[in-house]
Amino acid sequence: MTTADITPTRTAAIPGPATSYQGDIARYWDHEARPVNLRLGDVDGLYHHHYGIGDIDQAALGDPNGSGREERVIAELHRLESAQTDVLLDNLGHVPREATLVDAGCGRGGSMVMAHQRFGCHVEGVTLSAKQADFGNQRALDLGIDGFVRSRVANMLDMPFGTGQVAASWNNESSMYVDLDDLFGEHSRILEVGGRYVTITGCWNPVYGQPSKWVSQINAHFECNIHSRREYLRAMADNRLVPQAVIDLTPATVPYWELRATSSLVTGIEEAFLSSYRDGSFQYVLIAADRI
């Protein structure tokens, strides 16, 4: 009997992580179960691992000391996280029903479901975490959209899609886990010419000088490597991605963090986000680019 005979097909079909770092990140997300993410997702079944934007609806929050306040704060934080996805989808431009979209670093799949509900198209997601992919696929099954929305365990630097096959792709708070030249080279490969790429990300501000202590704290908290704004624009330019919109979402995300800091679901990272947004060392940005 050869080694091939005793190797399970599953092992052969799903290659392991490309690097030890990716193995650590896969484990991180396989074990993640923070109430701030699960309780917000439970509001309407859209599970996000990104942050929120927009003004707080004070009327929806009601009396700060009133009963049911905590549930209302959770619902409001969740509304702002879904509003963030809506802005990302707004920047994809026209998406026909027959298009295929790719969510690189798809998490539990909340953005994918919203994209399908808006455009009626196919949405493919990749994540390093088998737990997240299973979770996203179960949600799609529950919603009866599993024929359109699919998550897979795959490396976004080596995606299981053909060259020029994809109408649009995005990274929603997932680009701080990879080298940007490698990432944009891969998006550029899978996108059709004229296709659209969008990222929403946190980046450090070169005008500040170097990554601040708050940025270092966020990196340590999530085991990620936040890039500078300059790195994004350079790596896009080097990989046939021409920015059509660069939007500073920092003022729009501050109310989310202020509200989150008052909730019972704080995780301890709120001060780092608020301080770095306020001292100008860190920015929350959207970049939409066309593949030329």
Ligand X SMILES: CC(C)=CCC/C(C)=C/COP(=O)(O)OP(=O)(O)O
**Which amino acid, residue 63?**
D
**Residue 226 sits in the site that holds ligand X (CB under 6 A):** yes
Question: What does the alpha-carbon distance between residue 174 and residue 50 come to, in Å, rounded to a whole number?
Answer: 9
CA 96-102-107 angle, 5° bins: 130
**Residue 85 sits in the site that holds Mg ion (CB under 5 A):** no
Question: What does the alpha-carbon distance between residue 269 and residue 87 come to, in Å, rounded to a whole number?
Answer: 24
| Choice between 172 and 228, CB closer to ligand SAM | 172
Q: Is residue 233 helix, strand or coil?
A: helix
x/- binding map, residues 203-222, to ligand X, per CB under 6 A?
A: ---------------x---x
**Residue 49 sits in the site that holds ligand X (CB under 6 A):** yes
| Rounded least distance, CB 209 to ligand SAM, Å | 26
**Which amino acid, residue 214?**
W
With beta carbons less than 8 A apart as the criterion, state whether 196 and 93 touch: yes
| Rounded least distance, CB 34 to ligand X, Å | 4
Segment 166 to 195, residues that bind ligand SAM, using CB under 6 A: 172-174, 177-178
Q: Which partner, ligand X, Mg ion, ligand SAM, none, binds residue 202 by CB below 5 to 8 Å per kind?
A: ligand X
Segment 251 to 290, residues that bind ligand X, using CB under 6 A: 267, 269
**Residue 105 sits in the site that holds ligand X (CB under 6 A):** no
Question: What does the alpha-carbon distance between residue 235 and residue 172 come to, in Å, rounded to a whole number?
Answer: 17
Segment 27 to 66, residues that bind Mg ion, using CB under 5 A: 37
With beta carbons less than 8 A apart as the criterion, state whether 92 and 196 touch: yes
Binding residue (CB under 6 A) for ligand SAM from 74, 157, 215, 226:
157
**Residue 80 sits in the site that holds ligand X (CB under 6 A):** no
**Which amino acid, residue 174?**
S
